[in-house]
């Protein structure tokens, strides 16, 4: 099929009438970014739809896969644009039908926006449907529940025909909903939590706590790789790596063992809140899931959460583990996450962490030492790396060039 362009529908975007222009511009930029390194596509947008021209040799399948993964895209169709000539329309309808399987049903679905066109909807249905039936063997018409619809839009300038509608990622374009700081651990959950908030249009930066020499370079690299994988969906992401060893050691000196995990989480959160302020984020995101482990009971969340008044978003709070795993597989973070490198929390985890810690108790233990300066020191020594998929794209391009030569 000689497709002319890809039609992108926004869905929910249209509800936000006041901001529509900003939403559409962001979506267009995000789609262009996602289409790199395929390069050179013209993207035209109006208030309801976007059109991406395709050229000879374009890899339409690859383009569609990329576009459908962009948040804010509701659905996508590859479209053929043709002159207003019945013979040409018949021929294209037949080409679509030739791709159906034996026994399938279809329907011609005409929308006649140009009311001056010489044939009405009924006549067009008859003419195109009749032509398809005459020239195929094993397909039939079903107007109520067809397996396929051949959509025909009659507009002023031309006729547009398509029969595929691919579902998009939904949600809102990243960059339209403010900024959050994602606590990224290297486990399965937190990258998925990041994707969930990005789906609502939110931009993320990531923060990771590591405790050298107790945690390895590989553990750090794993988090860098996870961030890069997330950046494929959103563009560049800043990753803040916090040196956490001194704080962890101090916690173990002054806090009773069964409370060290609670205290560790509280210190993480105090550092995270400060970094969030510094970068202008309005909320913190984590991968917590109700009841999964000792630190994620309601009692624990209460004792941990009380160190900050900043909103903490927990998009996975009520998910089942298998739902999270499926999502991690879909965004290609699962295989990275299950690499076996030690996390700072795993190493310092007490044998019997309190599942229902008391706020007064943890506050009492922490009052034995002034943690403020160590927290400030950790924030001052944060290493910030900007992680970009574009480095890979540059490499990819160079490899293509090498192949050509």
Q: Shortest Cβ distance from residue 320 to ligand ATP (Å)? A: 13
Beta bridge partners of 283: 180
Is 208 annotated to bind a ligand? Reply is yes
Residue 229 or 296 with smaller CB distance to ligand ATP:
296
- Residue 95 CA to residue 100 CA, distance in Å, equals 10
Is 183 annotated to bind a ligand? Reply is yes
Using CB under 6 A as the criterion, which residues of the chain lie in contact with ligand ATP when the complex forms? 183-185, 187-190, 207-209, 286-288, 292-293, 295-296, 343-345
Residue 19 or 381 with smaller CB distance to ligand ATP:
381
Q: Which residue is nearest to Mg ion (CB)?
A: 187
Is 265 annotated to bind a ligand? Reply is yes
Q: Shortest Cβ distance from residue 219 to ligand ATP (Å)? A: 9
Name the binder of 188 from ligand ATP, Mg ion, none, CB < 5-8 A by kind.
ligand ATP
Name the binder of 234 from ligand ATP, Mg ion, none, CB < 5-8 A by kind.
none
Secondary structure letter of residue 343 according to DSSP: P
- Residue 77 CA to residue 165 CA, distance in Å, equals 5
Name the binder of 175 from Mg ion, ligand ATP, none, CB < 5-8 A by kind.
none
Name the binder of 78 from ligand ATP, Mg ion, none, CB < 5-8 A by kind.
none
The beta strands (E) that lie in 57-194 are given as 75-82, 105-112, 140-141, 148-154, 159-162, 166-167, 179-183
User: Considering only CA atoms, which of 296, 291, 333 is closest in space to residue 312?
Assistant: 296
Helices 298-305/260-279 angle, 10° precision = 50
Mark the segment that binds Mg ion (CB under 5 A) among 113-121, 124-132, 182-190, 306-314.
182-190
- Residue 345 CA to residue 265 CA, distance in Å, equals 9
Cβ-proximal residues to 74 (8 Å cutoff; 6+ apart), any chain: 9, 10, 11, 12, 13, 167, 168, 170
Residue 159 or 188 with smaller CB distance to ligand ATP:
188
Residue 150 or 316 with smaller CB distance to ligand ATP:
316
Q: Which residue is nearest to ligand ATP (CB)?
A: 187
Q: Shortest Cβ distance from residue 301 to Mg ion (Å)? A: 15
Name the binder of 209 from ligand ATP, Mg ion, none, CB < 5-8 A by kind.
ligand ATP
Candidate list 163, 176, 180, 185; residue touching Mg ion; CB under 5 A: 185
User: Considering only CA atoms, which of 34, 70, 308, 276 is closest in space to residue 179?
Assistant: 276
Instruction: Spell out, one character per residue from 360 to 399, where the chain touches Mg ion: x when CB under 5 A holds, - when not.
Output: ----------------------------------------
Query: Which tokens go with 378?
Result: 């950790």
Q: Shortest Cβ distance from residue 322 to ligand ATP (Å)? A: 14
Q: Shortest Cβ distance from residue 170 to ligand ATP (Å)? A: 23
Cβ-proximal residues to 228 (8 Å cutoff; 6+ apart), any chain: 387, 388, 389, 392
Cβ-proximal residues to 323 (8 Å cutoff; 6+ apart), any chain: none
Is 194 annotated to bind a ligand? Reply is no
Q: Shortest Cβ distance from residue 208 to ligand ATP (Å)? A: 4
Neighbouring C-alpha atoms within 13 Å toward the C-beta of 256: 12
- Residue 275 CA to residue 380 CA, distance in Å, equals 9
- Residue 160 CA to residue 83 CA, distance in Å, equals 9
Q: Shortest Cβ distance from residue 316 to Mg ion (Å)? A: 12
- Tokens 């970009």 correspond to 388
- Residue 221 CA to residue 227 CA, distance in Å, equals 10
Category of 57 on φ-ψ map: left (φ > 0), alpha (ψ -120 to 50) or beta: left
Is 229 annotated to bind a ligand? Reply is no
Is 287 within 8 Å of 187 (Cβ atoms)? yes
Name the binder of 293 from Mg ion, ligand ATP, none, CB < 5-8 A by kind.
ligand ATP
Q: Is 187 one of the binding residues for Mg ion (CB under 5 A)?
A: yes
- Tokens 């956490």 correspond to 244
Is 184 annotated to bind a ligand? Reply is yes
Query: Where along the sequence are the contacts to Mg ion (CB under 5 A)?
Result: 185, 187
Known binding-site positions for ATP: 183-184, 208-209, 265, 287, 296
Q: Residues at the annotated binding site? A: 183-184, 208-209, 265, 287, 296
């Amino acid at each position: 099929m000689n497709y002319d362009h890809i039609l992108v529908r926004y869905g929910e975007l249209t509800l936000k009438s006041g901001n529509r222009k900003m939403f559409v511009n962001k979506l267009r930029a995000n789609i262009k970014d996602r289409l790199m390194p395929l390069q050179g596509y013209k993207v035209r947008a109006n208030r309801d739809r976007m059109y991406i021209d395709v050229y000879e040799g374009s890899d339409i399948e690859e383009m569609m896969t990329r576009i459908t993964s962009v948040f804010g895209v509701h659905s996508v169709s590859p479209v053929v644009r043709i002159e207003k000539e019945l013979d040409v329309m018949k021929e294209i309808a037949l080409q679509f039908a030739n791709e159906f399987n034996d026994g399938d049903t279809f329907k011609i679905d005409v929308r006649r926006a140009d009311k001056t066109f010489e044939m009405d909807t009924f006549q067009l249905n008859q003419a195109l449907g009749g032509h398809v039936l005459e020239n195929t063997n094993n397909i039939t018409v079903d107007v109520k529940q067809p397996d396929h619809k051949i959509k025909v839009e009659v507009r002023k300038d031309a006729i547009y025909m398509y029969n595929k509608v691919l579902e998009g990622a939904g949600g809102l374009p990243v960059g339209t909903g403010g900024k959050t700081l994602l606590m990224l651990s290297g486990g399965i959950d937190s990258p998925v939590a990041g994707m969930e908030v990005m789906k609502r249009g939110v931009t993320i930066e990531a923060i990771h706590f590591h405790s050298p020499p107790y945690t390895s370079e590989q553990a750090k690299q794993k988090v860098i790789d996870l961030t890069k994988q997330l950046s494929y969906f959103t563009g560049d992401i800043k990753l803040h790596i916090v040196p956490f060893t001194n704080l962890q050691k101090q916690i173990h000196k002054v806090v009773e063992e069964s409370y060290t995990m609670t205290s560790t989480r509280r210190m993480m959160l105090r550092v995270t809140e400060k970094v969030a302020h510094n970068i202008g984020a309005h909320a913190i995101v984590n991968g917590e899931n109700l009841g999964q482990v000792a630190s994620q009971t309601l009692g624990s969340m209460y004792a941990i959460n009380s160190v900050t008044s900043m909103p903490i978003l927990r998009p996975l709070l009520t998910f089942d583990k298998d739902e999270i795993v499926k999502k991690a597989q879909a965004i290609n973070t699962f295989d990275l996450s299950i690499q076996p490198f030690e996390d700072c929390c795993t190493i310092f985890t007490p044998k019997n962490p309190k599942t229902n810690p008391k706020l007064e108790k943890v506050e009492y233990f922490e009052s034995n030492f002034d943690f403020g300066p160590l927290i400030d020191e950790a924030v001052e020594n944060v290493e910030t790396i900007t992680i970009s998929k574009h480095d890979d794209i540059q490499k990819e391009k160079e490899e293509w060039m090498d192949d050509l030569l």
